[in-house]
Amino acid sequence: MASKFQAPRGTFDVLPEQARSRARLERAATTIFSRAGYEPIATPAFEDTALFERGVGKSTDIVRKEMFTFEDKGGRSLTLRPEGTASICRAYLEHGMHKLAQPVKLSYLGPFFRHERPQAGRYRQFHQLGAECIGADSPLADAEVIMLLSDLLAELGVPGVELRLGSLGSFEARRAYLDDLKAHLHDHEGELSQDVRERIDINPLRAFDSDDEGTRGVMATAPTIVGQLEGEDAEHFEEVRALLDAAGISYVVDSTLVRGLDYYTRTIFSFVCDQLGAQSEIGGGGRYDGLIEQLGGKPTPAVGFAAGIERILLALDEEVPAPGRDVFVAIADPEQRGQAMALAVELRGAGFSVEVDLAGRGLKGQLKHADRIGARQVLILEADGGAQLRDMKTGEQRAADTGKLVEEMTGGES
Ligand code: AMP
């Protein structure tokens, strides 16, 4: 009977058959992070609301519309984390990580929450994996985090991936550019959507993301920052590109690329996948040299990325088969239940995957069940005290010594 309860709108259950490909993804990510020295960090699922207002930016869609904010019993305003970088920077400062050898390289994986309109690839609780490299301004750091995500997607075999690369310049260059852009938008105010018009002065970059036809027309002739990069900003971008070229990572320079968060400076990037329809971004990130200072620390350069686990899984669209079992211990007589369990425990201790019947089936039913769960061998404890080991693929059966079961299993494998 169906329950009257359902998972809340925009959330989902991860069922065992889906958990397998998720686990494969998580293992691949953990391996890639650890090989490059990105140590795992975990932060709370909720934080002070002000951290995200400051760290993500008051003018962003995330802070304006998408946060799950609530008051706790002590009257504090808390918010379920909508992204990971602000929390990690908070932890970096709180734990004095600026005193460690720099850069500090961290990685994470976990649930995030945004009150968005749910659709395929867009949920209210979703999962991200990501990496942050805090305390390095070298273009090597930018290239390294881009390579981490590129390697992960390649290793998993995600099809149809394209890397888009841009640069917003340093804070000063970005400010000068934003003045040019605002002037352009004010010149064409009448052609813009209301949402963009209202935000000309607080977040003009978002106009590049608009779906509105009039706005798109205005943006086609808007100045772009990539075309105006100068001095160290231009050199930094050139070097990131040269490092990616040397690593054989292909990309397109996208001068209209903007990201949803306020804190980016210089490098920004986005991995998109042509298998994904409307929500085509798999992951992205960039350099955020001003964020740590914004949160009360000393100016500290940093760069990182986040990728959506559900988007990667959607793009992979794979079914990982159930792993099967090494052994099923079947019994001819219900009295042998205890012995079967003891043997299962012994074999599990030796590293085998082993099941016993928990449903009181007869011997025939047990053999059927062993087949159903993909057991490669069945150990049949016979009523007269003997034991048989049956190979489920060939149907061959031989006498087994339950006193030397671990040796039997390793010797008896086909
Ligand atoms: P962002 O933190 O906005 O840069 O997002 C990084 C990545 O997280 C995106 O590229 C998506 O893959 C994923 N993502 C962001 N929001 C959602 C959402 N509401 N549902 C599922 N995945 C998301």
User: Which residue has the least CA distance to atom 14 on ligand 1?
Assistant: 308
| Mean pLDDT along residues 15-25 | 95
| Mean pLDDT along residues 286-291 | 94
Query: Is the CB of residue 409 below 6 angstroms from any atom belonging to ligand 1?
Result: no
Does residue 200 carry a pLDDT above 70? yes
Does residue 106 carry a pLDDT above 60? yes
Give the pLDDT confidence score for residue 1 in this predicted structure: 64
Does residue 162 carry a pLDDT above 80? yes
Question: 126 C-alpha vs ligand 1 centroid, how far in Å?
Answer: 8
Atom of ligand 1 nearest to the CA of 309: 12
Give the pLDDT confidence score for residue 276 in this predicted structure: 87
Query: Is the CB of residue 135 below 6 angstroms from any atom belonging to ligand 1?
Result: no
Question: 198 C-alpha vs ligand 1 centroid, how far in Å?
Answer: 25
Contacts of residue 404, Cβ cutoff 8 Å, sequence gap at least 6: none
| Mean pLDDT along residues 94-114 | 98
Give the pLDDT confidence score for residue 177 in this predicted structure: 87
| Mean pLDDT along residues 154-162 | 96
Contact predicate 280/87, CB 8 Å: no
β-partners of residue 133 are 105, 303
Helix or strand (DSSP H, E) at 327: strand 325-331
Query: Is the CB of residue 132 below 6 angstroms from any atom belonging to ligand 1?
Result: no
Atom of ligand 1 nearest to the CA of 82: 2
Q: What sign does the dihedral 121-124-130-135 (CA atoms) show?
A: positive
User: Which residue has the least CA distance to atom 18 on ligand 1?
Assistant: 122
pLDDT in tens, 180-199: 999 999 999 999 999 899 98
Give the pLDDT confidence score for residue 206 in this predicted structure: 82
In 66-138, which ranges are continuous DSSP H helix? 85-94
Give the model's confidence band at 263: pLDDT under 50 very low, under 70 low, under 90 confident, else very high: confident
Question: 215 C-alpha vs ligand 1 centroid, how far in Å?
Answer: 24
β-partners of residue 224 are none
Q: What angle do CA 387, 392, 395 make, to 5 degrees?
A: 80
Give the pLDDT confidence score for residue 261 in this predicted structure: 67
Give the pLDDT confidence score for residue 260 in this predicted structure: 61
Query: Is the CB of residue 377 below 6 angstroms from any atom belonging to ligand 1?
Result: no
Give the pLDDT confidence score for residue 257 in this predicted structure: 85
Q: Please provide residue 181's backbone torsions phi and psi, each rounded to the nearest 5 degrees.
A: -65, -45
| Per-residue tokens: 143 | 């290239």
Nearest in space to 340 (alpha carbons), one of 330, 332, 326, 348 = 330
Give the model's confidence band at 239: pLDDT under 50 very low, under 70 low, under 90 confident, else very high: very high
Q: What percent of the chain has pLDDT over 90?
A: 80
pTM recorded for the entire structure = 0.91
- C-alpha–C-alpha distance, residues 179 and 377, integer Å: 72
Amino acid at 331: I
Give the pLDDT confidence score for residue 414 in this predicted structure: 42
Query: Is the CB of residue 128 below 6 angstroms from any atom belonging to ligand 1?
Result: yes
Residue in 311, 313, 316 to alter for ligand 1 test, most ligand atoms within 8 A of Cβ: 311
Amino acid at 408: E
In 327-399, which ranges are continuous DSSP H helix? 337-349, 363-372
Give the model's confidence band at 411: pLDDT under 50 very low, under 70 low, under 90 confident, else very high: low
Give the pLDDT confidence score for residue 107 in this predicted structure: 98
Query: Is the CB of residue 105 below 6 angstroms from any atom belonging to ligand 1?
Result: no
Q: Please provide residue 251's backbone torsions phi and psi, each rounded to the nearest 5 degrees.
A: -155, 165
Average pLDDT over the chain, rounded to an integer: 94
Nearest in space to 181 (alpha carbons), one of 224, 233, 227, 213 = 224
| Per-residue tokens: 259 | 């990201």
User: Which residue has the least CA distance to atom 2 on ligand 1?
Assistant: 83
Atom of ligand 1 nearest to the CA of 285: 4
b or e along 130-162 (b: 16 or more beta carbons within 10 Å of the residue's beta carbon)?
Answer: bbbbbbbbbbebbbbbbbbbbbbbeebebeebe
Range in 86-90, 273-277, 314-318, 386-390 with the lowest mean pLDDT: 273-277
Give the pLDDT confidence score for residue 174 in this predicted structure: 83
- C-alpha–C-alpha distance, residues 60 and 303, integer Å: 19
Contact predicate 54/262, CB 8 Å: no
Residue indicated by tokens 């052994």? 327
10 Å Cβ neighbour count for 223? 12
User: Which residue has the least CA distance to atom 21 on ligand 1?
Assistant: 122
Query: SS3 breakdown of the chain: % helix, strand, coil, rounded to 5?
Result: 40, 20, 35
β-partners of residue 130 are 108, 306
